[in-house]
Structure 1
Amino acid sequence: MNIKKIAEMAGVSVSTVSKIMNNYPDVSEKTKQRVMEIIEQTGYSPSNSAKTLATKKSSLIGVIFAGELNVDFTHPFFLAVLNAFKKQMGVLGYDLIFFSNEKFLSGGDYYSRCVHFHVDGCVIISGEHMEPAIQELDMSSIPCIGVDLELKGKKSGYVTSDNYQISSKVVEHFYLLGYRELGFIGSTANSDISNQREAGYVKAIEGFGMNINENWFVHGDDFFEPSGYDAMQKLIQSGPLPKAIFAASDLLALGAIRALKEHGLRIPEDIAMIGCDDIEACKYTTPTLTTIRQNKERLGILAAHMLYDMINNQSEGGSFVVEPALIVRESCGSHLHDQG
């Protein structure tokens, strides 16, 4: 039994049955009662596949954590964005389906899986070392929205924070506190996000007329805490240290602080530290972490509305850049640094 047979038995169109199952008001009570009686008599259980047949839409959104080194539910920033996205898509009438990326790293195809599950659109969460299947999906007819990932397809869009402004705010804060010897801890050299933040950092430092010491610019393998720890260890072993460091993520900053403490260095007395993301842990570390807040809820809600508009042909994609904000805490506070 399926929706088509129900429609034939009731002598109505498939779309009428679909409207009744979805509680649309523009169906007469007599027709609604006849269809519901047939559904009850046959024991038919309306399913998502029936809805797809009737409307050509499944109300399913695919969720993809992209990249060989992908972020996932353990990453507090992207988890917060995804939670906001999920809630807003729920309000708009959609459910989420999660794709494992393991099979696609060896040459699989996201597009065919999306077609198989009849997804109406996809949200793609940025990772590192993008698999070719992501680009193929981006260029397909399936609407896609990227989070911190620039998509260029005709039916694609993306939301991100202004990474150059993030770095500019960090350098301005360091400068006003009297710090002139600045370092940087980034993710892998293949990370677009890290590279943008580093490029913005360099440009802002030069804009204030300060010198750049390339020995104080180090990189980890990803945005997580162990990479920050290892990068800071390398910096400590390389010689004299900068007076202040910008880490491209809060987790990198927390790893760096752990390494500094192991060597008996104080934050911010010996080295000031600023992170990026404003994850919840920043409020509870010792010292609490000064950081750049990315508006995670706004990013998630914007991504949901932009994808919804693309699915419903109200938009052809585009991009939206969310303005960041400096959150001052103990690791790089509001008091002028004593250069002496």
Structure 2
Amino acid sequence: MRLTIKDVAKMAGVSPGTVSKVINKTGSISPKTAKKVNKVIEETGYQPSFSAKALATQKSNLIGLIFHVEFSHPFFNEVVNSFKMTIGELGYDLLVFSRENFDDTKEDYIAKSKYFQLAGCVIISGEELEPPLKELDESDIPCVGIDIELNGPKSSYVSTDNHKVSSTVVEYLYLNSIKEVAFIGGPSDSNISNIRKNAFLHYLDLFGMVKRPDWIQYGDYFEESGYEAMKRILASGPYPQVVYTASDMMAFGALKALKEEGIQVPEEIKIIGCDDIEATRYSNPPLATVKQDRVKMGRLAAYMLHDLITGNADSCSLLVDPQLIIRESCAIGSEVTIPS
């Protein structure tokens, strides 16, 4: 029969809370009491359970994963996998919150976090903090946002440097004598997409490149919207030399639209996406893209959250540099590259 923490406490003549404090090396316990408890543990071979470890600190080793974006999108999927692996190496387990559970009830993330005695939360919310998430951010629960800005007293966030995403693309094209570039962004109210769009337009102005309103279109980061946006660009008049999209999925849709019109890529129109998801290597032609380092973002988020939980670091924000990956869809004769 497996011993419980109550059994060990009874054998040692102390309370279960005292046993838990000895196990977790927390609180003020006399050397004599600690020696007595440790002797019982050694003699019985007692293995503390997950709940026993949490008893003294009122915290478990559980991390809440709050996912308010399309989990099917390859970018977020890979970020989460990287986070999950790293946070596991640091000794934590994940508890995934279902968004639907919060729509029609008075429950909130703070109440759930306290109920499960969570050590902290990671938030992947896409574009904006909904009220329950904002309350969590403003609480004393350690939180890290991935691709979403958090400003709470115990919150940090990590994101790609989205300004550099566009500056890298435009600088590369300018250095290779390309001046006619269209842009397909995410939703018009998307903060991330607008950072990329505004940086794109800024560098067009800086380098004296062509700017046409019809060459600025919007989608939803997924393939079908890229297809429709590309159709609108083609119908608007003169064709651009290059189409730069705010996601690889929309770039795939744009490629489909160009193929239907019999337009050769890269000979007639070149395409650059963003994210560097796995499928970019196998598209026809292979897709040029701006790589967001998903593995690095996930690992950074895990270490940042661990440091917030343990008190080893204060709140902070980190921007991860992107990297331009040129493949056949944006092949240029004698190209000039930009050092990374």
Shorter-chain TM-score category? 0.7 to 0.9
Work out the CA distance in 2 between the residues paired with 1:100 and 1:126.
13
Residue aligning to 1:162: 161
CA apart distance, 1:188? 0.8
Q: What residue number does 2:93 align with? A: 95
Deviation at 1:147, TM superposition (A): 0.6
Q: Quick one: distance in 1 between partners of 2:96 and 2:306?
A: 18
CA contact under 8 A between 2:185 and 2:218: conserved in structure 1? yes
Q: Secondary structure at the match of 1:97?
A: strand
The worse-fitting range, judged by mean Cα deviation, of 224-233 and 112-121 is 224-233
Q: Which amino acid aligns with 2:87?
A: M
Choose the corresponding residue for 1:65, options 62, 67, 70.
67
CA contact (8 A) 1:275 1:290 kept: yes
Equivalent AA in structure 1 for residue 173 of structure 2 = F
Offset at 1:111? 1.5
Are 2:86 and 1:84 aligned?
A: no
Q: Tell me the secondary structure at the aligned position of residue 122 of structure 1.
A: strand
Secondary structure of 1:335's counterpart equals: coil
Alignment of 1:247-262 (within 5 A): 247-262=245-260
Matched position secondary structure for 1:265: coil
Does the 8 Å CA contact 1:105/1:131 hold for their aligned counterparts? no
For 1:4 and 1:212, how far apart are their aligned partners in 2? 73
Distance 1:128 1:161 in 2: 14
CA distance in 1, matches of 2:97, 2:238: 46
Q: Which amino acid aligns with 1:300?
A: G
The Cα offsets for residues 51-91 of structure 1, whole Å up to 9 and x where unpaired, read as 2212222011111112xxx221x222222221221111111
Deviation at 1:119, TM superposition (A): 1.0
CA distance in 2, matches of 1:125, 1:163: 16
Preserved CA contact (<8 Å) 1:62 1:99 = yes
Q: Which residue of 2 aligns with 1:116?
A: 115
Q: Distance in 1 between matches of 2:103 and 2:168?
A: 37
Alignment partners' CA distance in 1, 2:275 and 2:113: 31
- Counterpart check, 1:135 vs 2:137: no
Instruction: State the match for 1:54 in structure 2.
Output: 56
Q: What SS does the aligned partner of 1:50 have?
A: helix
User: CA deviation digits over 1:187-219, x for unaligned, max 9?
Assistant: 112211111111111111111112311111111
Q: Distance in 1 between matches of 2:153 and 2:323?
A: 32
Q: Secondary structure at the match of 1:273?
A: strand
* Alpha-carbon distance between aligned partners in 2 of 1:121 and 1:264, rounded to the nearest angstrom: 52
Partner of 2:148: 149
Is 1:173 matched up with 2:172? yes
The alpha-carbon deviation at position 38 of structure 1 amounts to: 6.3
For 1:3, give the aligned amino acid: I
For residues 184 and 105 of structure 1, what CA distance do their matches in structure 2 show?
35
Paired amino acid for 1:32: N
For structure 2, the 5+ residue unaligned runs are: 336-340
Offset of residue 129 of structure 1: 5.2
Rounded Cα–Cα distance in structure 2 between residues aligned with 1:158 and 1:267:
38
Q: TM-score, normalised by structure 2?
A: 0.87
1:50–1:258: structure 2 CA closer, same or farther, 3 Å change rule? same
Does structure 1 retain, via aligned residues, the 8 Å contact 2:11–2:40? no
Inter-partner Cα distance in structure 1 for 2:128 and 2:224: 19
CA distance in 2, matches of 1:86, 1:20: 29
Name the CA shift for 1:55/1:14 in 2 (closer, same or farther; >3 Å).
farther
Distance 2:181 2:102 in 1: 40
Quote the Cα distance in structure 2 between the aligned partners of 1:172 and 1:281: 25
Q: 1:106 to 1:244 in 2, by over 3 A?
A: farther
Is the Cα contact below 8 Å between 1:178 and 1:336 reproduced in 2? Answer: no
Letter of the structure 2 residue corresponding to residue 206 of structure 1: D
Would the alpha carbon gap of residues 38 and 80 (structure 1) be closer, same or farther in structure 2, given more than 3 Å must change? same
Determine what percentage of the aligned residue pairs are the same residue: 48
Say if 1:166 and 1:324, in contact at 8 Å, map to a contact too. yes
Relative to structure 1, is the Cα distance of residues 104 and 238 closer, same or farther in structure 2, using a 3 angstrom cutoff?
Answer: farther
Aligned to 2:287: 289
CA distance in 1 between counterparts of 2:35 and 2:224 reads 63
**In the alignment, is the contact (CA less than 8 A) between 2:142 and 2:305 conserved in 1?**
yes
Alignment counterpart, residue 309 of structure 1, candidates 307, 310, 315:
307
Q: Give the whole-Å Cα distance in 1 for the aligned partners of 2:296 and 2:42.
A: 41
Residue of structure 1 in register with 2:190 after alignment? 191
Q: Structure 1 CA distance, aligned partners of 2:311 and 2:146?
A: 20
1: CA distance between counterparts of 2:319 and 2:74? 20
Match of 1:229 in 2: 227
In the superposition, relative to structure 1, how do residues 28 and 135 fare at CA in structure 2: closer, same or farther (>3 Å)? closer
Please give the alpha-carbon distance, in whole angstroms, between the structure 2 residues aligned to 1:36 and 1:231: 68
